[in-house]
Structure 1
């Protein structure tokens, strides 16, 4: 089975991908979406979202990275799919799942699930433009207003030549509210021959096994669960072997956060690096009691060194205890 790190716009950037893939258990990553509108984007935009491209589009740990596109014009999407392949993308993914209002307002992401025919035309155009040996895949939700369009959309993507379909187990209107409707993912999986990958509400090893049982999908995509618990993929892989790994400690998590911050410092001012670290720390609150305990203090800190010191102090207290 494979575990894929989900593309989370504004969060899962290249430094996060580097950080999480070094922990282990992740088989593939996907970039944040590249917004395709009317003009041809220059290579520097692709490199901004996928700086791994010059390295065979792999993280330093060797994990391949798919390049994701978002747009509604089949011709422009085809041109950009071909450009991504020319630049070295090992896989071109199409975003039909983003629920953001701004994106949907401009006819991108989940709003396209209202029009299976347009899903077909976009995917078929990209598939025709990209060399045969490079898979074209898609990520979707179960629908927009409700979950009734899942099968129709999945069948449209299959007919267009999608090699794989990742399905977030909610509609756009469902947002990210529990539960995840894994049984509806299973309905789509049974209706298509294309390989289906389940996504949504996998926070623990036990969640993985329940998702697998209900959806019938061996492969999964995880977003918030891996941000909250960086060793989750490794833990799931160990459970597949009938083993149990020691849980990541808070001190180990702090080292990951520090490494992430150091990677960002080459590109951002320290105050922005501190902001990104706090964004991640907010997710870590779900996976680590220490993150929850230190959050009221850390969230007010703007200086990077002070933030590192606060996190390190929390780790030292934990070890002493």
Structure 2
């Protein structure tokens, strides 16, 4: 009954993995995708996306981190899978789910679901290149143009040697619009022998249980729901024990943002740090009324210190000192 923090390009970076895994309840996580094209990437690129490689591919709290690759050239994907393991990866994941137009236009991510044979070739190449004891896993959607390709693509990946498969319960065309089609995940899961992990539209504890019931999956991956409610995984774990966890307070959320900002400032210029904080705050509006109240002011701030003062000046973030 593991809970996995989803890879979200441009948002779930190493600092936020560190921050959220420290809250508790998250069993595993996955990096943002490392884009594989025609040339061999240097080690510094792997370390940029996954500094956890320096710590046995774990966050400071001990949460394992998988290295995710995205690309369409089987040979190059295999070489990069092997390189990831040489640098310390304990799991190599392949992205077949990214719906971004730029990525799809360059034949990466979800557009590959139009070609199950190529998906098979990519996954098989990575599996062959990576030592047998290192799991090769994959993430995809239910299809590109519609939700009809999930089964064919899932079977292709299983035959290629993928150890487990995460399925986001929408097609590319569906985007992120509700609902999530968990029942379609169930159809794929029933036809495969490898573990299938459900992903999509899990914002609350109740939705977690509903997703598990409809999909039949024992494990779930959560992205935006954990960004909006950083303690969601902890609440879910409590519910699995038949307990109720006290929800995170806004001052506790602000403390997380402060830690996140401090970590980002070691990696990015302040103007980019503020942008990342705003991105997170926008999601926090879903989980915290205080964030919704602060948003009109905070979204106009461009510097880190004023932003943090706005969020927590009086201990509640409702007044600016």
Normalised to the residue count of structure 2, the TM-score between the two structures is 0.98
Partner of 1:19: 19
Runs of 4+ displaced beyond 2 Å:
313-319
Instruction: For 2:20 and 2:207, locate their aligned partners in 1 and report how far apart those are by CA, in whole Å.
Output: 20
Tell me the secondary structure at the aligned position of residue 93 of structure 1.
strand
Partner of 2:221: 221
Whether the 8 Å contact between 1:290 and 1:314 is mirrored in structure 2 is no
Partner of 2:171: 171
- Farther off after superposition, 271-280 or 255-264: 271-280
Deviations 1:129-188 (A, max 9, x none): 000000000000000000001100110010001000000000000000000000000000
Whether the 8 Å contact between 1:8 and 1:32 is mirrored in structure 2 is yes
Instruction: For 1:303 and 1:156, locate their aligned partners in 2 and report how far apart those are by CA, in whole Å.
Output: 48
Output aligned runs, 1:102-251, within 5 Å: 102-251=102-251
Instruction: For 2:153 and 2:269, locate their aligned partners in 1 and report how far apart those are by CA, in whole Å.
Output: 43
Confirm whether residue 270 of structure 1 aligns to residue 277 of structure 2.
Answer: no
Partner of 1:5: 5
Partner of 2:260: 260
Partner of 1:91: 91
Deviations 1:181-214 (A, max 9, x none): 0000000000100100000000000000000100
Instruction: For 1:257 and 1:317, locate their aligned partners in 2 and report how far apart those are by CA, in whole Å.
Output: 12
Whether the 8 Å contact between 1:141 and 1:172 is mirrored in structure 2 is yes
C-alpha distance 317-222 of structure 1, shift in aligned 2 (>3 A)? closer
Deviations 1:262-296 (A, max 9, x none): 01111222222111111110010001000000000
Whether the 8 Å contact between 1:170 and 1:180 is mirrored in structure 2 is yes
Shift of 1:314: 6.2
C-alpha distance 314-124 of structure 1, shift in aligned 2 (>3 A)? farther
Instruction: For 2:105 and 2:176, locate their aligned partners in 1 and report how far apart those are by CA, in whole Å.
Output: 19
Whether the 8 Å contact between 2:261 and 2:277 is mirrored in structure 1 is yes
C-alpha distance 317-166 of structure 1, shift in aligned 2 (>3 A)? closer
Whether the 8 Å contact between 2:56 and 2:88 is mirrored in structure 1 is yes
Please list every run of 5 or more consecutive structure 2 residues that lacks an aligned counterpart in the other structure. Answer: none
Please list every run of 5 or more consecutive structure 1 residues that lacks an aligned counterpart in the other structure. Answer: none
Instruction: For 1:189 and 1:317, locate their aligned partners in 2 and report how far apart those are by CA, in whole Å.
Output: 45
Tell me the secondary structure at the aligned position of residue 52 of structure 1.
helix
Partner of 1:41: 41
Instruction: For 1:269 and 1:213, locate their aligned partners in 2 and report how far apart those are by CA, in whole Å.
Output: 44
Shift of 1:318: 6.6
Instruction: For 2:208 and 2:262, locate their aligned partners in 1 and report how far apart those are by CA, in whole Å.
Output: 32
C-alpha distance 194-309 of structure 1, shift in aligned 2 (>3 A)? same
